[in-house]
A and B are shown apart, each in its own frame.
Chain A
Amino acid sequence: MKRRRIVSAIAVSAAITMVLAGCNSKAKDNGSKSTAKAAFNAAVGKVLNPSDKKGGTLTMANSGDWDSLDPADTYYGFSWNFIRNYGRSLVVFKSAVGTPVLVPDLAETLGVPSDNAKTWTYKLRKGIKYEDGKVVTSKDVKYAVERSLDKTTFPNGPTYFNDFLDLQGYTSPYKDSDPNKLGLKAIETPDDNTIIFHLKKSFSGFDYFAQLPATIPVPRAADTGTKYKEHVISTGPYKFEKNNPGKGFSMVRNASYDPNTDPSSGRKPLVDRIEVSLNVNSDDIDNRLLAKDLDVAIEGTGVGAATQGRVLRDPALKANADSAAIARTWFTAIDSDVAPFDNIHCRKAVLYGFDKTGYQRAYGGAIGGDIASSLMPPLIPGYKKNDLYESGSKPEGDLAKAKDELKQCGKPTGFSTNVSYRIERPKEKATAEALQASLSKIGVKLTIKGFPKGDYAALYAGKPDYAKSHQLGLKVYGWGADWPDGFGFLDQIVDSRVIRATGGNTNFGIKVPAADQLLDKALQTTDKPAREKIWGQIDEVVMTNAAAMPGVWAKGLLYRPPTLTNVFVNDGFGMYDYTVMGKK
C-alpha cells in the first residue's frame, strides 16, 4: 500500500470521506446481516460466524514492519484499522458492515461547530482511563495533536492538522516554552472534559480529522518522543504486553478499559491476547493461514499469486476466502511524448485494439479484479461509468476501429514501440506479453523491456528523458489510493505539472491540460458532492484523450481461517475489521 501525504488543503475533506465512500451501493442496507455458514464472499457485506464467546489468542503476521505504532506517526490502512484496539480517538468510524459512519468515541457526541465551522468543540466522556488507571483529560488530547504536528520527529503521519489548525507559528511541544507544553493557541482546553479546535478556515468536515489516530490521547509524562512507539499507553480494550521492535509484539486485555464508556464504536474485544509477528516471509504467512496456524495476514492486501491458485482450486479453501474490492487500478500509461503516441489517433488505436480480457487474465482473471473501462476505480466517490473503448461490448479488442484510428494517425500498417514492466512482477510481465500479442494483430509491434522495480520510477519509466530516448511508449503500472478518494488516486498519476525532469515520477507521461484544470477546480470547490463529481469528470477527460490503457480494477483475495468468529470486510479499509474478531 502506498503511503501518501496529502498536503493540499481542500483535498482533505474528500480524502477523509474515506470510508464513507468506501462502499458501493451493494452494502447499503444490510448492516445487521450476518451468517454462520462459511462460503466464498461470506464475510463481504455481512458478519460471518457472529459470536459473543470470549477468550483465545488472535495471531497476526505482517510481511513488513509497521511504519510506527505511535498514533502520531502512522499512515498505513492496516495500522489505522488495528490502532483502534489500543487507542481511542475523539470520534471513530463504527466497526460495522456496510457504509461506515462516524460515531463519537472519546467524545460524547460528534463535534459541535460554531463561528461558521471555524471552531469545533468536543466534550469528553467521563470515566475513560489509561491502562495505568489515570483519567484521560482533554489536555492529553491536545498534547497528542500538538506532538503530531512535529513532522521531523514523526514523519509518517498525515498533515491535516498542520494544514488546517491556526498554528500561529507553533511547531512542536518539544520546542514549546510553555511549562505544561500546551502552548498551541489553536486548541483550547477550558476544563478537563472540553477541547476546542480553532481552524484557519471553515471546514465542515472536521469530524473526519477528529477520527485521525493523532487525536488518541498521549500522557505527557509517558511521552518519550520517537521511543514512545515502543510502549504506547493504551486507552483501548488492549494494552501492550511485550514489544520487540522489528520482530513483533503482544497485547493483553486492558483492565482499565470500561466497555460502558464505549457504547457507540462497535468494538467487540473477544480474545484475551493478540500476538503480532513482523517481517514474516509473505509465502510463509499464506501457508500458515491455510494451515490454521495464523489467524490474520495483517496487511490485508490478499494472498499471493501461488496461494491464490491453491485457494481457488480447492472448494474447501475457497469457502474461507473473500474477494474484496480495493481502490487500485492496474493500468498501462501511454507516454504522449514518445512518437507516434503524440498523435491522439495512435493512442486511440492501441486503446481500441488491445485485448482487455488478456489484461484481466494477466492479473488472475475475474478474481484479480474487474476489467477497467477507465482509470478511476468505481469505489471512489464521484465515479461515473465511462466506457469509451468498448471494454464492455468488445473486450477482446475492436480491431476494425483500431485500424481506422491507425489510418487517421497516418500509420495504416502500424508502427513499432516498446512496452516496459517491472521485472520482479510476473503479472506485469504477463501483461506486457498479452499486450504484445494482441496489439500485433493491428500491426503495432511491441518490444518488451523489463526494468528493476526499485528504479522503475526513478530511472526508467518515470524519468522523462530516459523514456523518450528509449522510446518507452507504453508503461505497465498500477496505482492505489490509501483509501477511496479522487484526489489521492488521480493527482499523482494524471497531473502533468507534477512531472519532474529529474525522474521519480509516478505520472508516466499523461498530459491532459483539461485534467490539470479540473484538478485545480476541484481543489477550489468546497461543496463535497460537486467536488466528487469533478473526479469523475477528470477520469472521463483522461479517457477522451486516450492517455492511458485501463487494465483491471483490483480485488484482493482475503483468506480467513475457519477458526475466526465475527469476521467481516470493513469497506473503508478493504480488509477485515480488526476490532471485533473472536476465536471459536
Chain B
Amino acid sequence: MTAPLEVPPAEVEATPEAVLTGVRKIEGRSLGQIAWMRLKRDKVAMAGAVVVVLLIIAAILAPVIVSLAGHPPNDFHYKQVDAEKQTPIGAYGGISHDFLFGVEPINGRDLFSRIVYGARISLLIAFLATMLSMVIGTVAGVIAGYFGGWVDAMISRLMDIFLAFPILLFSLALVGAIPDTAFGLSGDALRIALIIFIVGVVNWPYIGRVVRGQTLSLRQRDFVDSAISLGARSPYIIYKEVLPNLVAPILVYTTLLIPTNILFEAALSFLGVGVRPPRASWGGMLNDAAHWYQTDPWFMLPPGLAIFITVLAFNLFGDGLRDALDPRSH
C-alpha cells in the first residue's frame, strides 16, 4: 500500500493560468491534512477503521444492543441445550433468529450477548493499557533521546530489562496472587486495573525505543540548534520543537500496539487469570470452547472470529495510518 506522494489530480489541473484568473486558488495544506487525504484513499485502512469504530460503538452500547437482539449475557437457557449430550440443540451450535451466534453448551448462554459484552473487556483493557504504554514510553523515550549521556544509558538498559521480561509468566504469577481488595478497588475492577497495569507497564519499551530514536535524530536538526542558540530551555524545546514531530510515529505505534494487547488480554483470560466468571471475555470463552472442540466446534467460532476480526481491523488501520503519515517508511 504505497500512498502516492503527488497531490490529487484535481489539484494538478489547476494550472498557473487558472489560478491567476481566479478560477482556482492554491490551498496551503498542513501535513495532517495531507495524511488524512492519503488515508481516505486507502480503502483497506478505511475498512479497518470502520470496523474499529463499529466495535467501539458496540462495546459502549452493549446493554442496548443486547436488549434489542439478545438475552442477558449470564442468563441460562437450558431449553436450548440437549440434556444428555450437553451440546446446543439445532444446527451450527444452536444458531437461530433468537440466538444469533448460537448458545453455549451445558447452560445455553447467548453467545451473541457474551461476545458483545466481551468486547467491552477486550477493548477497555487494550485501550487503557496501550495509553499507559504510550505515556510511559513517550516520556522515557524523549528524556533518553534528548538528554543523552548517562540518562540515556540508564533508560535504555531499563528498556532492555523490560523487553527481556517473561511477561506472560510474570502476569500469571501476579494476577494469581492478587488479594480481593487493594488500592480501593475490589473484585473484577481490581483485576481489570491490574491487567491494564501489567500489560501497560510491560509494553512501554516498544514505544519508548521508537520515540528515543526519533528524538535522537530530531535533536541534530537545525531548528533545534537554532532554538538552543536563541536560549530556549529544554522543556520548551521538548514541548514545542520535538514533541510535535513525534506525533506521527507515536500514533502509528499506538495503533499497532492495541491489537497486540487485545491478544494479550485474551491469552490471560484463556489461561484463567482474566476477569472472573461468569463475566464474559473473549479469551475466557475461547478457553471454555477448547473443551468442546470435538463435540461442539461451533462454540469456538464466535470468540475466535471476534478476536481475529478485531486484531485484523486494528492492524490494517494501523498500517494505513503509518503509510499515510510517513510514506518514506516503505
Determine if B197 is an interface residue (Cβ-Cβ < 8 Å): no
| A360-380 interface code vs B (CB 8 A; 1 in, 0 out) | 011011110000000000000
A433 to B280, CA, bound (A): 12
Q: Which residues of A contact B187 (CB under 8 A)?
A: 447
Q: CB < 8 Å: which of B74, B84, B176, B292 contacts A306?
A: B292
Q: CB distance A430 to B276 under 8 Å?
A: no
A426 to B106, CA, bound (A): 11
Q: Which residues of B contact A305 (CB under 8 A)?
A: 291
Q: Which B residues, 178 to 210, have Cβ-Cβ distances below 8 Å to chain A? A: 180, 187
Stretch at the interface among B5-13, B75-83, B117-125, B240-248: B75-83
Q: CB distance A436 to B278 under 8 Å?
A: yes
A315 → chain B, closest Cβ, in Å? 12
Q: Which residues of B contact A423 (CB under 8 A)?
A: 272
Q: Which A residues, 414 to 454, have Cβ-Cβ distances below 8 Å to chain B? A: 423, 426, 429-430, 432-434, 436-437, 447-450, 452
Assuming the A-B contacts A310-B295, A452-B176, are A366 and B83 also in contact, with contact meaning beta carbons closer than 8 angstroms in the complex? Answer: yes
A266 to B110, CA, bound (A): 54
Q: CB distance A364 to B294 under 8 Å?
A: no
A246 to B94, CA, bound (A): 45
A455 → chain B, closest Cβ, in Å? 10
Q: CB distance B276 to A448 under 8 Å?
A: yes
- Size of interface on A: residues with Cβ below 8 Å to B: 30
A449 to B291, CA, bound (A): 20
Q: Which A residues, 450 to 507, have Cβ-Cβ distances below 8 Å to chain B? A: 450, 452, 470
Q: CB < 8 Å: which of B85, B106, B293, B294 contacts A430?
A: B106
Q: CB distance A306 to B106 under 8 Å?
A: no
Determine if A211 is an interface residue (Cβ-Cβ < 8 Å): no
Q: Which residue of B lies closest to A304 (CB)?
A: B291
Q: Which residue of A lies closest to B84 (CB)?
A: A365
- Size of interface on B: residues with Cβ below 8 Å to A: 26
Give the number of A-B contacts (CB < 8 Å).
71
Q: CB distance B85 to A450 under 8 Å?
A: no
Q: CB distance A366 to B107 under 8 Å?
A: no
Q: CB distance B76 to A437 under 8 Å?
A: yes
A447 to B188, CA, bound (A): 10
Q: CB distance B292 to A309 under 8 Å?
A: yes
B103 → chain A, closest Cβ, in Å? 13
Q: Which residues of A contact B288 (CB under 8 A)?
A: 426
Q: Which residues of A contact B87 (CB under 8 A)?
A: 309, 313
Determine if B86 is an interface residue (Cβ-Cβ < 8 Å): yes
Assuming the A-B contacts A366-B84, A449-B276, are A361 and B293 also in contact, with contact meaning beta carbons closer than 8 angstroms in the complex? Answer: no
Determine if A358 is an interface residue (Cβ-Cβ < 8 Å): yes
A366 to B84, CA, bound (A): 6
Q: Which residue of A lies closest to B74 (CB)?
A: A437
Determine if A312 is an interface residue (Cβ-Cβ < 8 Å): yes
Q: CB distance A309 to B295 under 8 Å?
A: yes
Q: Which residues of A contact B295 (CB under 8 A)?
A: 306, 309-310, 313
Contact sample, A vs B, 10 pairs, CB 8 Å cutoff: A307-B294, A312-B84, A312-B85, A365-B84, A367-B84, A423-B272, A430-B106, A434-B76, A448-B276, A448-B277
> In the complex, given contacts A309-B85, A361-B86, A361-B106, what are 15 additional A-B residue pairs having Cβ atoms less than 8 angstroms apart?
A306-B291, A309-B86, A309-B292, A312-B84, A313-B87, A361-B78, A361-B81, A361-B83, A365-B84, A367-B84, A430-B106, A430-B107, A433-B107, A437-B107, A448-B278
The 8 tightest CB contacts between A and B, nearest first, are: A309-B295, A433-B278, A423-B272, A448-B277, A437-B76, A426-B291, A430-B106, A306-B294
